[in-house]
Amino acid sequence: MPTLYYLLPIFNEASQLSSLLETLNAHALPPGWFGRIVAVNDGSTDASLTILEQNQRRSPLDIVSYAPNQGIPTVLKQGFAHLSPRLGDDDIVVIMESDGTSDLAVIPDFIKAIEAGADVVIGSRSIRGGAYKNFPWQRKLGSILTNWFLRLTWQVPGVTDYTIFYRAYRGAVLKQYIENGVSFQSQKSFAANGELLLRLSRYTKNFAEAPLQYDYGLKKGKSKMKLFGTLWEYLKIKR
């Protein structure tokens, strides 16, 4: 039975972490799929690690933990290092945010697109059916302008939304990337997520998108993304 791994970056998420884990455990996957959570605790200073350890006793949950906080590039490296010996070619890795904004209703669309031949499926706000909802104007403008710039310069086939965190990856293509060495130009920011998409375009041209209505109003707590620093790192990333 193939496994769908939920890869979660965790940094001081104690206020909503129990609710998130309960939601993921209760989420029904299509027949024939087994779900497992991989939580990467990126140097949390609150009770996040304790909550993860308590939940590990009653749910399929792997914990990767280190300190101090090092940012998304390290989260991805550590998460991929954990997955590498476990990941099957037909498995799927879904990287999602831990703040309540990643709509699980999109998961069946991710699975369907990968079963139809896609290697990477992106939850897109830019295609029909997708939307930015309740976004602060400066974040929405920054996202739209950055995606416009990346479409012009990176030109990854079939991709309109480069900056969204919520994506699904086929095990086979992710393993290729991991085995050839995970590296990022991004220093510490969420730009590493976009850079991952660019790196994977060396291994596949089979990208697809599923409409995502990203509701910023569902975000629990303050955003951890530094807007202007992240935008600057995107501009510096070279093909």
Tens digits of residue pLDDT in 41-50: 999 999 999 9
Q: Is 67 exposed, middle or buried (0-12, 13-18, 19+ CB in 10 A)?
A: exposed
Mean pLDDT (whole number) for 159-180: 95
CATH fold of the domain at 3-236: Spore Coat Polysaccharide Biosynthesis Protein SpsA; Chain A (3.90.550)
Mean pLDDT for all residues in the chain: 90
The CA dihedral of 51, 56, 60, 65, to the nearest 10 degrees, is 70
* DSSP bridge pairs for 65: 41
Compare 230 and 168 and report the one with higher pLDDT: 168
Compare 79 and 145 and report the one with higher pLDDT: 79
Q: List the structure tokens of 2.
A: 């193939």
Provide the pLDDT confidence category of residue 230 given band limits of 50, 70 and 90.
Answer: low
Question: CA–CA separation, 153 vs 207, rounded Å?
Answer: 17
Q: Which helix (H) or strand (E) holds 217?
A: none
Residue 225 CB: number of other CB atoms within 10 A? 18
Instruction: Quote the pLDDT of residue 189.
Output: 74
C-alpha to C-alpha distances, 86 to 52, 62, 198, 217, nearest whole angstrom: 20, 12, 24, 35
Residues 6 or more apart whose Cβ sits within 8 Å of residue 141: none
3-state helix, strand, coil in the chain (%, to 5): 40, 20, 40
Q: What is the pLDDT of residues 33-43, one digit of tens each?
A: 999 999 999 99
Compare 38 and 59 and report the one with higher pLDDT: 38
Instruction: Quote the pLDDT of residue 239.
Output: 59
Q: List the structure tokens of 132.
A: 């930015």
Mean pLDDT (whole number) for 176-183: 93
Mean pLDDT (whole number) for 168-174: 97
Question: CA–CA separation, 178 vs 118, rounded Å?
Answer: 18
Helix axis angle, 171-179 to 191-200, nearest 10°: 100
- The three-class DSSP label of residue 21 is helix
Provide the pLDDT confidence category of residue 191 given band limits of 50, 70 and 90.
Answer: confident
Q: Is the pLDDT of residue 25 over 60?
A: yes
The CA dihedral of 16, 19, 23, 26, to the nearest 10 degrees, is 160
Q: What is the pLDDT of residues 97-149, one digit of tens each?
A: 988 889 999 999 999 999 999 999 999 999 999 999 998 888 898 888 888 88
Compare 169 and 138 and report the one with higher pLDDT: 169
Q: Is the pLDDT of residue 92 over 70?
A: yes
Question: Tokens 């990287």 belong to which residue?
Answer: 95
First to last CA, the chain: 36
